[in-house]
Amino acid sequence: MTSSQRVAVVTGSSTGNGYETSLTLARNGFLTYATMRSLNKGENIKSFTQKERLPLKTVQLDVTDDISVKNAIQSITAESSRIDVLVNNAGYALFGAFEDLSMEEIKAQYETNLFGVIRVTQAVLPIMRKQKSGTIVNISSGAGRLGFPIQSAYVSTKFAIEGLSESMAYELEPFGIKVVLVEPGFIKTNIANNMVTAKKSQDANSPYSQLTGNIVSFIEHGLETGSAPDVVANVVLNAVTTENPSMRYLAGKDVEKLMEAKRSMSDEEFHKMVEQNIIK
pLDDT-based confidence at residue 261 (cuts at 50, 70, 90): very high
pLDDT of residue 182: 98
pLDDT-based confidence at residue 62 (cuts at 50, 70, 90): very high
Give yes or no for residue 159 having a pLDDT over 90.
yes
Average pLDDT over residues 2-13: 88
Give yes or no for residue 1 having a pLDDT over 60.
no
Kindly report, residue by residue over 205-214, the tens digit of the pLDDT: 999 999 998 8
pLDDT of residue 89: 97
Look over the chain and give the mean of its residue pLDDT values, rounded to a whole number: 94
CA atoms of 132 and 152, how far apart (whole Å): 37
pLDDT of residue 240: 98
pLDDT-based confidence at residue 229 (cuts at 50, 70, 90): confident
pLDDT of residue 23: 98
CATH architecture label of 7-252:
3-Layer(aba) Sandwich (3.40)
C-alpha dihedral sign at 97, 99, 100, 101: positive
Kindly report, residue by residue over 10-49, the tens digit of the pLDDT: 999 999 999 999 999 999 999 999 999 999 999 999 999 9
154 neighbors 108 (Cβ within 8 angstroms):
no
Kindly report, residue by residue over 135-148, the tens digit of the pLDDT: 999 999 999 999 99
Average pLDDT over residues 241-266: 96
pLDDT of residue 279: 78
Give yes or no for residue 2 having a pLDDT over 60.
no
Give yes or no for residue 194 having a pLDDT over 80.
no
Active-site hit among 19, 33, 154, 208: 154
Name 173's Cβ contacts closer than 8 Å, sequence gap at least 6.
none
> Is 19 a catalytic site residue?
no
pLDDT of residue 106: 98
Give yes or no for residue 133 having a pLDDT over 80.
yes
Kindly report, residue by residue over 65-85, the tens digit of the pLDDT: 999 999 999 999 999 999 999
Give yes or no for residue 256 having a pLDDT over 70.
yes
pLDDT of residue 224: 84
